[in-house]
Each structure stands twice: as C-alpha cells, then as structure tokens.
C-alpha cells in the first residue's frame, strides 16, 4: 500500500482516460489536526474540509470519474462533542441546500449511503430533496456516506433481506442476497479507496464493497488536498496490476465479471 508523504506533480495529460477508476471512495480525514496545527478550533477544520470536498468533486467530475463516495459522517462520529457534531450537521445541511446550481451545471447526481432514519429530520429532508432534485442528472454520481458504517450497512442489508424473504433458510443465503440489499446495490464496488492524513486503516468504510479495492494513503491532511492530490492517487492506481485473487488482467478500472476465473 503506497504511503504518500509529499505531492508529486501529475498532470491530467498523464492520466489514462481508459484506465480511470470507475468508482472512488474517499475517507476524508485530518480536519481536526489541520485546525490544531494552526491554532484554530476543530470546527474551522471541518469548514475547510467542506471546501476541499467541493474542489475534489469538481476535479473528479472533470476527469470523468463515474462514482465518488465521500465518507462524511460515520456511525461512530456521534461520540464526538455535541457542539462539534452539531456543526458538522450544519455544514452538511448547508452543502446540500446550496449546491444545486453547481450540481445542475455539472449534472452531478446525489446519492446516499447510511442509516437515514438516525439523522435529524431537517438533515433527512435536505438529503431526500437533493436526491430528488438531481435524480435525472447524467453526470458523476456522488454518494454521501452520512451516519454510515460498513458493519451497520451489512446488518441492515441482512435484516431487509429477511424482512422480505422470511421463509428462506440461513443455509441458502448467498453473497448476492446481501449485495442486493446494500444501500446502493446498483453502484459498482470501489476500485480505489483514498485516505488522507496518514492513518492506514479502513475505519468501517464500505467493508463489503471494498474486498478488492486498491488503497491509497496520503499523509496530507484533508483540507490541504487539491486536484493534484487526486491526480497523484489516480496515477498510482493506474500503475497497479489488479488480479482480484486470480489471473492477471489488463483491466485496471473495473472488477471482473462473475464468470472470470478466480483463485482465492
């Protein structure tokens, strides 16, 4: 797993459009540390992190990435100080409420992952409104993972499956059954998962979907990220040889079909 400690200049011309990751997931980490380094309150770091998220969404859309999942708020983040949680929720509300013109201009469609019922009613309303308003947009799809946890998603999927298939034996349950009841079963698994701020862990993010995702860890704190960092991550991804537990393949961006040979 690469551990980037500095930004290497990568130009868009160095990116192979045919080898773009179809789906990128980002663990946006380091907002609090960014603020602390500057003697600022943690909430200022979250504000700068939101600005960075907008820049990266635009950059990914311009490059032609089809799906981008942003880990905005985890099921574990509720344990943070009440004031910090409230500020993050206000930023999410602000982002959803004010970005329709931007989404319309770039045809960016909003999707959601997480337990919607566990969010404040006003946040639920903004999320549903954004999903509805952008439902017909044909550009990149941005999945906002809010009140999201990978374990929770799997548990919810199993519960939803059995609520609709009460008579099915546990012995007959298969991967496809669970996949079909995940939050976004129509979206392909992430090809690349990026984490800012240096920690080498997945932090309960897309646990089911990331079985064969490539990982890219950057020491740069999330508010410091810009398009160059995204280009570097994609450039590194395009140098990888992805075998998905089996034979060599020249395909870089997408996972093999269920009929491809595998050797786990």
At residue 235, the 3 state secondary structure works out as helix
- What digits encode the pLDDT tens for the residues 55-69? 999 999 999 999 999
Whether 258 maps to a domain, the answer reads no
* Helix, strand, coil percentages in the chain from 3-state DSSP, rounded to 5: 45, 15, 40
Cβ atoms of 147 and 116 within 8 Å: the answer is yes
- Asked if pLDDT for residue 261 goes beyond 60, the answer is no
Q: Which domain holds residue 149?
A: 20-237
Whether 245 maps to a domain, the answer reads no
Whether 102 maps to a domain, the answer reads yes
Determine the pLDDT at residue 188: 98
**If you ran DSSP here, which 8-state letter would residue 165 be given?**
-
Whether 75 maps to a domain, the answer reads yes
- What digits encode the pLDDT tens for the residues 37-87? 999 999 999 999 999 999 999 999 999 999 999 999 999 999 999 999 999
Determine the pLDDT at residue 258: 45
Report the CATH number at residue 188. Answer: 3.40.1180.10
Determine the pLDDT at residue 220: 98
- What digits encode the pLDDT tens for the residues 102-144? 999 999 999 999 999 999 999 999 999 999 999 999 999 999 9
Whether 261 maps to a domain, the answer reads no
At residue 180, the 3 state secondary structure works out as coil
Q: Which residues form the catalytic set?
A: 29, 77
Whether 226 maps to a domain, the answer reads yes
Whether 249 maps to a domain, the answer reads no
Whether 92 maps to a domain, the answer reads yes
Rounded CA-CA distance 103/58 in Å is: 9
**If you ran DSSP here, which 8-state letter would residue 208 be given?**
T
Number of domains the chain is built from: 1
């Amino acid at each position: 797993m690469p551990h980037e400690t500095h930004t290497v200049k990568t130009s868009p011309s160095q990116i192979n459009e045919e080898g773009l990751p179809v789906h990128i997931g980002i663990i946006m980490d380091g907002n609090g540390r960014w603020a602390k380094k500057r003697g600022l309150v943690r909430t200022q770091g979250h504000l700068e992190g939101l600005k960075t998220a907008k820049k990266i969404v635009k950059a990914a859309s311009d490059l032609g990435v089809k799906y981008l999942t942003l880990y905005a708020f985890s099921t574990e983040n509720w344990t943070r100080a009440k004031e910090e949680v409230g500020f993050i929720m206000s930023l999410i509300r602000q982002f959803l409420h004010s970005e329709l013109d931007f989404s319309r201009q770039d045809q960016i469609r909003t999707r959601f992952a997480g337990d919607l019922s566990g969010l404040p009613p006003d946040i639920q309303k903004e999320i549903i409104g954004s999903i509805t308003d952008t439902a017909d947009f044909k550009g990149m799809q941005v999945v906002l993972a809010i009140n999201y946890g990978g374990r929770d998603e799997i548990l919810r999927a199993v519960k939803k499956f059995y609520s609709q298939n009460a008579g099915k034996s546990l012995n007959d349950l298969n991967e496809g059954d669970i996949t079909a009841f995940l939050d976004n079963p129509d979206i392909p698994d992430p090809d690349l998962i990026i984490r800012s701020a240096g920690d080498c862990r997945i932090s309960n993010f897309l646990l089911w979907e990331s079985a064969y995702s490539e990982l890219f860890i950057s020491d740069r704190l999330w508010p410091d990220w810009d398009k160059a960092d995204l280009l570097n991550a994609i450039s590194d991804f395009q140098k990888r040889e992805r075998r998905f537990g089996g034979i060599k393949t020249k395909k870089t961006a997408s996972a093999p079909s269920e009929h491809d040979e595998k050797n786990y």
